[in-house]
């Protein structure tokens, strides 16, 4: 079993920055892809950014150039640096971690979510 603990959310003014962290803990697991998703009120959860085990990244068009995803494999941690925040970025942000069970089987886990609110 893998537990994910997120931190770093909060209230910030438009144009400001926040850094989210997500730490995976447990035993006997190997992490593959890691990512951040967000869900605004009344909307579906959407991908914000993802990073593979070898460091390849993927971003939603709406955050390209403003957000940066990174990971520290030694700490089982994924980060999301968010700059130039806009009110439309307001949402609950969730980390998602893909765990390798075997070479052909994987599972995934979600964090509990952290609220990001951007005021205008």
Q: Over the stretch 42-75, which tens digit does the pLDDT of each residue have?
A: 999 999 999 999 999 999 999 999 999 999 999 9
- Cα 108 to Cα 106: distance, rounded to the nearest angstrom: 7
For residues 114-120, give the mean pLDDT: 97
Give helix then strand counts, H and E, for the chain. 0, 11
The 8 Å CB, 24+ separation contacts for 60-68 are 62/88, 63/89
Tell me the pLDDT band of 104, cut-offs 50, 70 and 90: confident
- Cα 98 to Cα 104: distance, rounded to the nearest angstrom: 13
Contact 49, 79 (CB under 8 A): no
Contact 35, 63 (CB under 8 A): no
Neighbouring CB atoms inside 10 A of 47's CB total 14
Instruction: Please name which of 23, 17, 2 lies closest in space to residue 95, comparing C-alpha atoms.
Output: 23
Answer yes or no: is pLDDT of 27 > 80.
no
- Cα 44 to Cα 38: distance, rounded to the nearest angstrom: 8
For residues 101-120, give the mean pLDDT: 92
Answer yes or no: is pLDDT of 103 > 90.
no
């Amino acid at each position: 079993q893998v537990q994910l603990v997120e931190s770093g959310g909060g209230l910030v003014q438009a144009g400001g920055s926040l850094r989210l962290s997500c730490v995976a803990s447990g035993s006997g697991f190997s992490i593959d892809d890691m990512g951040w998703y967000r869900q605004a009120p009344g909307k579906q959860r959407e991908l914000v950014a993802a990073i593979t085990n070898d460091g390849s990244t993927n971003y939603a068009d709406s955050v390209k150039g403003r957000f940066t995803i990174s990971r520290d494999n030694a700490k089982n941690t994924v980060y999301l640096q968010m700059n130039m925040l806009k009110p439309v970025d307001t949402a609950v942000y969730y980390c998602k971690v893909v765990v390798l069970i075997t070479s052909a089987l994987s599972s995934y886990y979600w964090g509990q979510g952290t609220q990001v609110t951007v005021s205008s």
